[in-house]
Amino acid sequence: MLHTPIRTSIHLLLILCLFASPGVAFAETGASPDSVNASFDGMPGGSAFQDDYDPLFDDDLGFEGQEDLEEVDPFEKTNRTMFKFNRGVDRFFWDPLTATYRFLVPAPLRKGLRRIFVNGRAPVVLVNHALQGRVKDAAETLGSFLLNSTAGVGGLFDAAAAAGWELGEEDFGQTLARAGVSSGPYIVVPVFGPNTVRDGFGSIVDLAFDPLTYLLGPIQGLLISGPDGFTRKDATTDNLEALEESSVDFYAALRSAYLQTRAAQVNDD
């Protein structure tokens, strides 16, 4: 029922992108980075909607030695190639699309739309809390989802926060990690950016539990609200640009930020 209007909206945005300022569409930003999910909201299970802590600007961004790097990123040469490819996709597609979205939609409404998509993903969080045996967190997630879906008008307003509840953020990659599954090598996925073998598999499982997959369709869902969707990129673009400008090696900085954030999420009890 919703596919036709959503497709129409996407087509309109893409058409508008063609008329976006060339300075926006093709601006050079310096180093050769990748489309990430910086908070990694981009990251499977990360949350680009948390304003208090930004791991991209954590002072401790590195690993202790080259052996650690070789173990964590054994495919670095290939990953860097994918990283450059993804930056091309960013500059010619995601950047103008995000800029057009920002131009057309006021900031308060964009924030509300992000909350709607986060709220719509609550069943994924609920399933993973249940799989991890975190009964209290599962109950709070369910309560937050129901409250935001009703009093919060589908998540447009965070009614749960006013009640002292938190929707939370959990994914199958974290569930696997807490079950003792190692992350495996770091990989840069074409178009979708930073990942690991474990988290990549986990994101596929999460996609099956995500109602937006069936409501919007998998392609539309990823384009709009997925880890690299423009509603999430809107929340992270400014921080990523600032990090790129301050980084000698943007690839290495984002790799460290991604891995540290994922480790923090896994260890967050």
Quick check: is 41 in a domain? no
Quick check: is 52 in a domain? no
* Phi and psi angles of residue 45, each rounded to the nearest 5 degrees, phi first: 80, -10
Mean pLDDT, 10 residues at a time, the chain of 269 residues:
43 39 33 37 40 43 51 93 93 87 90 89 94 93 94 91 85 94 94 91 90 78 65 78 87 92 85
Q: Provide the CB-side half-sphere exposure for 255 (13 A, CA).
A: 24
Determine the Cα–Cα distance for residues 168 and 70; give it in Å rounded to an integer.
Answer: 33
Cβ neighbourhood burial of 15 (10 Å; 0-12, 13-18, 19+): exposed
Domain that holds residue 71: 3-7+66-94+106-267
Quick check: is 239 in a domain? yes
Give the pLDDT confidence score for residue 238 in this predicted structure. 81
Total domains present in the chain: 1
Q: DSSP character for 155? A: G
Give the pLDDT confidence score for residue 71 in this predicted structure. 80
List all residues 6 or more positions away from 103 whose beta carbon is below 8 Å from its beta carbon.
20
**CB neighbourhood size of 18 (10 A):** 9
Quick check: is 188 in a domain? yes
Give the pLDDT confidence score for residue 196 in this predicted structure. 95
What SS3 class is residue 187? strand
Give the pLDDT confidence score for residue 3 in this predicted structure. 45
Quick check: is 205 in a domain? yes
pTM of the full structure: 0.70
Quick check: is 86 in a domain? yes
Quick check: is 230 in a domain? yes
Quick check: is 46 in a domain? no
Residues 240, 56: contact at Cβ < 8 Å?
A: yes
